Structure 1
Amino acid sequence: MIVFYNAWVLLSLALFYRGPIQWDGARSADVGLYVLLCLVSFDVAYLLARRRTHATSTFAGARWAPRSTRGARALILGYAVLTVIYLYSTTGRNVLSPSAYSLDFGAVYADYGANLSTRTASQAVQVVTLLKAVVFPFALVTFFDRFRRDKVVVVGFLAPMAVSSIFRGTDKEVLDILLLLLVAMFCYRLLTWKSVATLALVPLAGALFVTRRLGRFDGSLPTCLPESSACFDYGSQVAQALGARAEIFSVFGTNYLTNGYQGLAYAFSLPWTPNFGLGHLPPVKRVLCSASETLCSTADYQSALTTFGWDTSARWTTAFPVLANDLSFWLVPLYTAFLGIVLARCLAGWRSGRDPRAAAGILLVTMFWVYSSANMQIAISLDWALATVALLYVSPLRKLRRQAADGR
């Protein structure tokens, strides 16, 4: 997996500096050097930890996944029901209504945005949102625990994500599903060339991505994307060789994969304001805001970037400024080193005891690097934020504390 992480990050940097979009931040080597520093810190920590992590290393405590088939299916069903209720509150679409499903992607996305802007979450919806987030880490672990032996659990866990993508007109959930399948297949040693070739969802996801982008512009693309350096060149080698849709995919894909680096370039020049450990977990911070206005008033890089005209509600900043809210840019490489140590422990925990929490930890590390050029995906929602705290922070710390107690 570590080879994949490195290749992915290097590809994103290559597209930022040599891709079809001329970013202002690409005129300096600062972004590339900093991202590489974080990546090398991760690599070195992983390699050192792997040598010191024994094959018997597992996480402490219970497995977090029901042992009975009935219990596992009940957990997944509960998570699915909570997700359906949450989707109805955010999109206004009922999963049981045939009219809720539409291929008019532009209208779906516009309706979703309009519903969010006018939505007032009731106390009941807030409770459902919190319950869904609390159940999610257990559902995630159960998915990995039963990946090879219970299709009902697998489909029940992935289906709400697919429905969310349909109801919101967004692509994030499609990539999440692909990453879940990729990591699960890796853990169960199913990731062969033959199995990869059967993942026809990859080209389909690319086609869906382009169709959705066109839908948001009512099928009529401007020469350049609004307020962006991303422009289409239908005389390019890509367009000439593969057609106009390939050029559209190239520009949109590069924009999605690299625009966060431009946000990072801007963030380097901003002052740091400590966020007391919650700056890299915005959903958790928002929940706690209701109890403490002090946390809400603390500035972060996301809000400060608006001084450059960089609207972080529509553009990305990479994962690094989000982490820097708590650590400053100087200490973010220590966080990526921590991820390297966690990955080594997770791999050992899975290989020695098939601990499903270890597999979930591998997924979270994978998601961090795959989305790193865009955002802090493992904390983009309350669901993923709580999974990050539980599976990347709490479990490894409990393991270290148990080892310390055994050594006394």
Structure 2
Amino acid sequence: MSQRGRVLPLTVPGGQSRVYTVSQLTNDIKNALEDRFGVVIVQGEVTSLRHASSGHSYFCLKDAQSQISVVLYADRTTTAIRNTIQEGIALQVEGDITVFAKRGEYQIRALRIEPVGYGALQAQFEALKRKLEAEGLFAPERKRDLPRYPTRIGIVTSEDGAALRDMVRILRTRAPYVSITLGDARVQGEGAAQDIAQALARMNAFGEVDVIVVGRGGGSPQDLWAFNEEAVVRAIVRSRIPVVSAVGHEVDVTLADLAADVRAATPTHAAQIEAASRLRGFETHHALRRPQRRIEDGRQELDRIEDRLSRALGGWVGTRRQKTELLTAGLLAHAPSRSFERARDRIEAARRRAAQSLLSLIARRRERIETEERLLDSFDHHRVLERGYALVWSEEGARLLKRGTGVRPGDSIEVQFFDARAGAKVTKLVPEGQEPGKETS
């Protein structure tokens, strides 16, 4: 064996000492630490967080003076636990002290982690939930339907948050006619709950919105805690304007969600709900619903008018007849035969004119009702589709295509017939007036 491969003892004055290899010393230190400490619980702030592709999580716990490495193996974690571990939050880690021999570093092998104060927060959440539930603030019968035709939407969130940008993007894309009013408020940290409650109050005082969306993007339970505060819940309940809550992700349920008239899974989902509500309003507009019923109502109104006119005419004719008979009696008494004949002719002419006027009025009303019937029938696009026409939509029915200039060969489209929809692909495009056979690239 060469000199470089041998372990040579270092002579120590006064006696012999044991000589360790690096592995031996490291292993002895590892055993000493594990025997001395066993399972410990350590509290500190998360730093240097890293999630490996293997599913293991690595981070350090630190305080003002020191830090210690922590490893959380994949078989000890879940997606929810991984999402809980974030830079800067305080954790309690339960695990055993060990040494990572390859680097000679001591570390905690985590068996369980819990955010500091999480148990207390959950208890506080449940207690406040029971209190407010007992007051009926979460009762389904208290909640209101959203407006059918919302054109003015108020949003209570942070003006710097991604949630606002997502909601505005969805509304501008799907409902560009909607006006948006922002009530800026802090959505996490000290004083956030009061900010949110005050913004809701300001929005109600403003009054120029049809519905209010209150929320923020995802985060830890501590980040979302402002939406579990009593001040926010009571502000939502006091709102005269319907409220949609949109806090965090679908798995995050806050007291604000329980108090709101409608709960959306995310801020983006809230914007989609409002845009869809407006579209459904157009589809069910009273002028386009049940045209036959409107025609029948119009005919009934015509019959009522005709009956009133007949009774009015009958009274008018009866009055004139009585007057004529009185005049006739007076004339007969004085034998003015010629005057009597002329008067009778005038009365008869007046009666014929009145009858003709009545018939003309009835005919005009009937023609108007029939014209409105045809007009209402023409508004029903299903009638047009029944005659062999079709509607062409962009891919997945996102947008109605009114012109061919926006379509290119190879585009996927959806064709709506009277009884079905069909997916199709554009093979060629010939503009109107161009000779057949000449495609547009």
Q: TM-score, normalised by structure 1?
A: 0.22
- By relative contact order (CA 8 Å, sep 6+), the higher-ranking structure is 1
Higher helix share: 1
Higher strand fraction (1 or 2): 2
Q: TM-score, normalised by structure 2?
A: 0.21
